[in-house]
Amino acid sequence: MSFSIAVIGECMLELSKADRSAPARGLPMTMNYGGDTLNTSIYLSRSGVPTRYVTALGDDIMSDWLLQEWQAEGIDCSLVERMPNSVPGMYMINVAADGERSFLYWRKGSPASRLFDDIDRTERLFDALAGCSHLYLSGISLGILPEKSLHGLFGYLTAYRQAGGKIIFDGNYRPNLWINAATARQVYTQMYSLTDLALPTLEDESLLFGFETAEQVIDALQKHGVPEIVVKMGGSGCLLAQGKARQRVAAVQVTPVDTTAAGDSFNAGFLAARLNGCSGAEACQAGHALASEVIQHRGAIIPRSR
């Protein structure tokens, strides 16, 4: 393979009820980990795609554990920074009876949010990333960063793309990460202008921009110059746009147990197929196939045997 992906983002510790059918009060919790970009990285690596994860962790034992877990998945962690006197962010997940999930977060000031605070560290990271053919990040990757760090990141992304690198962006809009929607729209608009492959979700784009249909999302993103777009629509499938051509690709219909990482795993399945020479439609089918398996299990990361 002549390609590799560097993924910029944050992974957090995950708390969930040991028995999700029981009341929460006094119930033991289980510890795991997850995060949109890390979920995608794991499924990319399991699919045989050389994957490098770019983030920051603390200097505690839980950060040691996370790093060991990622390396065991075959992910290149050489660009994972370790912040002194820090611990990773954490979230708690609650899954409703229909498989839909909600979250509580403890991530303010997390190591990943400070990844680009130091100029020397930032320059070193950016120099190393120049050797990767593709760079992947999400709206959460952007939303956790302070304004100064965002400005520096966009400068690098511009130079990276001018040098021939390809940028992949999953919108993954989370309102609580932004001061207001207007700020998020400004950042997303700038990001889309630097994107070669966009993997937005209709629900998120509707919430942020007010779009009502996948066609409207594609129209807007193409005006920003995005050449390839896949709008994810959950159980309704996705809409693929490559230039003037548009095609709907149906999802695999299953009964969901937990929709955590549905979009993250779709992205990984799509990218693994697309980068290995599949057509856009074939890649969409691969994304749906992986996502349909993931949502039939509890948690973001399903057993490797599945």
Catalytic residues: 264
In one letter, which amino acid is 287? G
> 94 in helix, strand or coil?
strand
Sort residue 85 into left (φ over 0), alpha (ψ -120 to 50) or beta: left
CB contact at 8 A, 239 and 198: no
For residues 184 and 181, what is the distance between their CA atoms, to the nearest angstrom? Answer: 5
Element (H, E) at 56: strand 51-57
Sheet holding 80-82, edge to edge: 80-82, 51-57, 5-8, 134-138, 166-170, 197-198, 228-232, 238-242, 245-249
**Rg of the chain in Å (alpha carbons):** 18
Strand 228-232 versus strand 238-242 pairing type: antiparallel
φ and ψ at residue 293, rounded to 5 degrees: -75, -45
List helix spans (H) across the chain. Answer: 36-46, 61-72, 119-129, 139-143, 147-162, 181-192, 202-209, 214-223, 262-275, 280-294
- Enter the DSSP assignment of 99: S
